[in-house]
Amino acid sequence: MTALIGGGAEANDPLQASPVGGKCVSNGPIPCGGSNGFSSPRCESCPQPPFSKEALDRRVEGTVLMICVIDKSGRATNVAVTRALPYELSGQAVRAVKGWTFQPANGPDGQPATVLQFIEMSFHLLPPR
């Protein structure tokens, strides 16, 4: 789990951003999607990951918050968890996002661009019947 949670902002860390007022604010070289003339990437294929057995057994639910780089090809890279859930749900979320495909963001010049993006993944159980 520790390997999934983003550490401090090192000089070569591409994930230098903060969620401020529900928006991404970049503190590094990669801009945030949806700001400064960059569009937001749009998810094209984004299947929900399964619950882990441990989370199901304990009826754990909630939301994992991640930040990642969405590259010009529409792939999520450098995925880091900023708000975690226990029982392998954070790991399930990271693996899922790494497999998603996005329509990449466009830069101010109208060309595909690499951007930072915060992604929330919610895990909700159905009420017992």
Q: Give the integer Cα–Cα distance in Å for 114 and 106.
A: 8
Q: What is the pLDDT of residue 26?
A: 84
Q: What is the pLDDT of residue 129?
A: 62
CB 70 within 8 A of CB 104: yes
Q: What is the pLDDT of residue 126?
A: 79
pLDDT tens figures, 25-67:
888 889 999 999 999 999 999 999 999 999 999 999 999 999 9
Among all chains, which residue has been given the structure tokens 């999934």?
Answer: 4
In this prediction, residues 67-82 reach a mean pLDDT of: 95
Helix segments in 40-124, DSSP class H: 53-58, 89-99
Q: Which helix (H) or strand (E) holds 76?
A: strand 76-83
Name the pairing type of β-strands 23-26 and 76-83.
unpaired
Domain ranges, ordered by start, for the chain: 33-123
Q: Please give the mean pLDDT across all residues of the chain.
A: 88
What is the CATH topology of the domain spanning 33-123?
A: TolA/TonB C-terminal domain (3.30.2420)
